[in-house]
Amino acid sequence: MTDAAADTLEARLLSDRSKRPRILDDCVKLIEAEVDSKSGLSGLAIKGSYKIVSSMKPGFVREAMDHLLDDFVRRLEPFYAQHQAAQGNPKGFADLLSRRAGDVADALLGITDDRARRAKNAALKSAYERLRPQGKKHVEEAVPRVGRTLAAHL
């Protein structure tokens, strides 16, 4: 691997397969912390849904995160490149993500946006479009934790 290739987020997080279990553990903790932090009626709904999913299929969240991790890292690559161009330290990457939370949320939600566009089920597409703005709000709120979680593995 060249020095330039070693300076990608993908290389730092995904090239060493032995790191993946620790990254996934931390991602699950991140999700649980985000769910726990929700309040109000929407928080109650999120907590209830998370509890149902977690009890019906233990390990589902980790499995889903494992399935999505590579895509998430690829979507965050431009932000990491910007961070590297500024010759920042790992903590600085978390700060950069926090400052650009809206852009980061759009990048990450782009994965589900692409899947929704390809969906054949019109009702599913419609439901996703209605929930998307609320989803962006929640992802934006999670971005500081995402940055801290990933920075710890850099």
Question: Rounded to 5 degrees, what angle do the CA atoms 81, 132, 96 make?
Answer: 25
Whether residue 26 contacts residue 152, with contact meaning beta carbons closer than 8 Å, is answered with yes
Q: In terms of residue numbers, what domain contains 137? A: 3-151
The CA-atom distances, in angstroms, between 128 and each of 24, 41, 133 are: 26, 20, 9
Whether residue 65 contacts residue 24, with contact meaning beta carbons closer than 8 Å, is answered with yes
For 40-66, how does the pLDDT look when each residue is reduced to its tens digit (9 = 90+)? 998 898 899 889 989 999 999 999 999
For 88-108, how does the pLDDT look when each residue is reduced to its tens digit (9 = 90+)? 776 799 999 999 999 999 999
Q: How many domains does the chain have?
A: 1
Secondary structure of residue 120 in the 3-state scheme = coil
Tell which residue, 102, 106, 95, has the closest CA to residue 150.
Answer: 95
